Structure 1
């Protein structure tokens, strides 16, 4: 549990600018699209996700009059609060903690939000440039990679060297090698 958490240096073209969005097991159910926000004080489970649980879980909801305020000054009334088990990692690098979620009835493309409290419980360190979180477990340091696919990630490319050209697998573009500043410039589109 006291192993050092290290993020290795990566080349500039591999740096991510996307949010870190992960999957976790919440109350024995695999939940994807969990936004990790080191700036949020609240741990949020959105109502559209919470309603998918069986009655044995939804019955634990305790109603509250708490309002959640965004950084834009908007506030939203919480439906309630619920304590659920959250499991992060994959065997053998796995940990489970109890998280006190605020259930919100709001429109979101995410199912949940892990704020500072959850990240603190796990001792997790989020690295946006690496697009992952790392946290200690009894068997070593676990790494959970971001699953986010947004506008910038859709444009990102896995490069494969082909002589003087580099083919971008996800964007189907052919790039000409350009050693100036290590950047690649589009050459032409692949036709399929």
Structure 2
């Protein structure tokens, strides 16, 4: 009888190990487009949790390696500028201007039960998004994003979890970006021949 118990116990442990080793398949189907406006070219804009706060208007940019946080969000999270560590490499903004970062900071970003430390570069520049998360966050989470399906899928507890995008907010951000009036060029450039 003790031999039977051992083999049942061993079988249960093997089954548990097998479940832990099996990763769910991350894929997108046509059904994943239900609830989205099709066709579209919208950015993937989601709500994520940073430092205990739900943060709206976060763009998922799978084509970038830089995780950007705009100064307004940084201040809105009640973080202090003296907590930033130096970041010396300038960036180029979407409108082609060189932006000197204010610094960088590691912050916990929660997605469901998963918490990933993200090294944000903090910039003082205009963009209608509050932050941009990029490939390093996706890769650390083991996630796959799809702008077409307006979702991020990631494995958690042997299941596939989803983060839904918000097309309405993405479109509002696009309108805000196109209507934004950039700062006037300095008078030193006026009248110069190129």
TM-score normalised per structure 1: 0.68
- Rate the CA distance shift 1:47–1:129 in 2: closer, same or farther, 3 A: same
Say which of 10, 29, 33 aligns to 2:53: 29
Q: Given the alignment, which residue of 136, 142, 150 partners 1:131?
A: 150
Deviation at 1:52, TM superposition (A): 1.3
Query: 1:3 maps to which residue?
Result: 24
State the SS of the aligned residue for 1:119: helix
Conserved 8 A contact 2:24-2:158? no
Match of 2:107 among 71, 84, 87: 84
More helix by share: 2
Find the counterpart in structure 1 of residue 10 from structure 2: none
Q: CA deviation at 1:2?
A: 1.6
Q: Which has the larger radius of gyration?
A: 2
**1:1-192 matches, cutoff 5 A:** 2-10=23-31, 14-55=38-79, 59-70=82-93, 73-89=96-112, 94-149=113-168, 150=171
Please give the per-residue CA displacement for 1:48-95, whole angstroms capped at 9, x wherever unaligned. 11011234x655311322211247653211000000000113xxxx31
Find the residue that maps to 1:51 and give its secondary structure.
helix
Q: CA 1:133–1:15 in structure 2 vs 1: closer, same or farther (change >3 Å)?
A: farther
TM-fit CA distance, 1:143: 0.4
Change (3 A) 1:21 1:145: same
Q: Give distance in 2, aligned partners of 1:128 and 1:27.
A: 26
- 2-structure distance, mates of 1:22, 1:53: 17
Instruction: Answer 1 or 2: which has greater strand percent.
Output: 1
Give the TM-score taking structure 2 as reference length: 0.68
Matched length? 148
Distance verdict in 2 for CA 1:29–1:129, change over 3 Å: same
Q: Which runs of 4+ in 1 moved over 6 A?
A: none
2:87, 2:121 within 8 Å by CA — same for their partners in 1? no
Question: What is the CA-CA distance between 1:147 and the residue it aligns to?
Answer: 1.5
For 1:30 and 1:72, the matched residues in 2 are separated by 28
Q: Does the C-alpha gap of structure 1 residues 137 and 70 become closer, same or farther in structure 2, counting only changes over 3 Å?
A: same
